Amino acid sequence: MDNIMVIGAAGQIGSELVVELRKIYGSDHVFTTDIKQPPPDIMEGGPFQILDVMDDKQLIHFIIRNKINQIYHLAAVLSGNAEKLPTQAWKINMDSLMNILEVAKMVDEVKKIFWPSSIAVFGPTTPRINTPQLTIQEPITVYGISKLAGERWCDYYFNKYGVDVRSLRYPGLISYKTEPGGGTTDYAVEIFYEAIRQGKYECFLGEGTTLPMLFMPDAIKATIQLMEAERSRLTIRSSYNLGGMSITPDQVHQEIRKHIPGFTIRYNPDFRQAIADSWPHSVDDTIARVDWGVEQTYDLKKMTEIMLKEIQNKLNS
Ligand code: AKB
């Protein structure tokens, strides 16, 4: 059985991915790390250690000591936060990835790496509807530039050193367990919390801003599917396009109103509007479908029902 390391286990993706990985590999084989404490089930359900991926010496010791075979490197500064501290965000996003790629190159036991990219690798000159896998990429955010550079490094390490690195260009991710922090698509999580807590929400994007979004169970399934795919089936070593539902704040508002009729929304776009306006409306993930069979199961209606129910339970407990 492989030993798996998850970096960023306290985050929006990590806190849910770990649960699924433990089901597959067994709790003792999933080594979770972060610079902050994760939710109690992650802390108590298997090995956890505070670890900073920027510290390359600590990182390599951890990997060798625990005989790690697969690494999921999920730590990153997201688009909104990165615009506030551009040079720091660049350093964190790039240096952490380079540390992982170097370890994978040096340590033979490390067989596979997962690193998330994002729709942020696209920019205002990219075709916005059904954005193809291969297209113009001129991102205008620090986050997007770091993800695009990261993709090129992943491809380079695969071709030059045979490092088996796998990646997805996540759209906005919607989930109830752990809230995201500092992203442009975060409104699509906040809106559910505020609908339940306050019955009203002030949205930092305009009502008609269309972005591709994915419900977390679909994102986790796609991530594990990609990591379990036969190496020979993978034709993309930068990062696979991953689709989702194309939705606007207004559509989410209307869907929530079916459950909470009095829910009101006010639109007050901030600096994140320009970021959202530079990203695709929808993404073509045909290559991922053909290569390893990705598919989405949740639409806005089904997701809204689950989000409201689960957040209500969480706030009650
Ligand atoms: C963000 O909004 O920064 C992220 C992303 C789309 O990568 N959720």
pLDDT per residue, tens digit, the chain (317 aa), is 999 999 999 999 999 999 999 999 999 999 999 999 999 999 999 999 999 999 999 999 999 999 999 999 999 999 999 999 999 999 999 999 999 999 999 999 999 999 999 999 999 999 999 999 999 999 999 999 999 999 999 999 999 999 999 999 999 999 999 998 899 999 999 999 999 999 999 999 999 999 999 999 999 999 999 999 999 999 999 999 999 999 999 999 999 999 999 999 999 999 999 999 999 999 999 999 999 999 999 999 999 999 999 999 999 98
Ligand 1 centre distance from Cα of residue 172 (Å) = 5
Nearest CA to ligand 1 atom 1: 183
Cα 171 to middle of ligand 1, angstroms: 7
Residue 163 half-sphere exposure toward CB, CA atoms < 13 A: 29
pLDDT of residue 43: 94
Distances (CA, A) of 260 to 249, 264, 296, 298: 16, 9, 26, 21
User: With a 6 A CB cut-off, is 118 part of the ligand 1 pocket?
Assistant: yes
* Per-residue pLDDT, 241: 98
Residue 141 is predicted with a pLDDT of 98
3-state secondary structure of 255: helix
Secondary structure letter of residue 131 according to DSSP: B
* pLDDT for the residue numbered 243: 95
Q: What single DSSP character describes residue 179?
A: -
So what's the pLDDT on residue 95? 98
Phi, psi of 64 (to 5 degrees): -75, -45
Q: Ligand 1 atom closest to Cα of 82? A: 3
Shortest-distance Cα residue to atom 4 of ligand 1: 183
What is the Å distance from ligand 1's center to 61 Cα? 31
Which residue out of 145, 168, 173 has the highest number of ligand 1 atoms within 8 Å of its CB and is therefore the one to mutate? 173
Relative to the CA of 182, which ligand 1 atom is closest? 3
Q: What is the CA angle 29-98-125, rounded to 5?
A: 115
Nearest CA, atom 7, ligand 1: 118
Query: Which atom of ligand 1 has the smallest separation from the CA of 184?
Result: 2
Ligand 1 within 6 A of 183 CB? yes
Domains belonging to the chain, first-starting first, are 4-170+214-241 (3.40.50.720), 173-213+244-316 (3.90.25.10)
Catalytic residue among 25, 72, 143, 176: 143
* 143 given a catalytic annotation: yes
The CB-based long-range contact list for 57-64 (8 Å cut-off, 24+ gap) reads 59/99, 59/100, 59/103, 60/103, 60/106, 60/107, 62/5, 62/31, 62/33, 63/5, 63/103, 63/107, 63/109, 63/110, 64/107, 64/109
Burial of 154 (0-12, 13-18, 19+ CB in 10 A): buried
Give me ligand 1 centre to Cα 48, in Å: 26
Atom of ligand 1 nearest to the CA of 119: 6
Query: Beta strands 168-170 and 240-241: pairing type?
Result: parallel
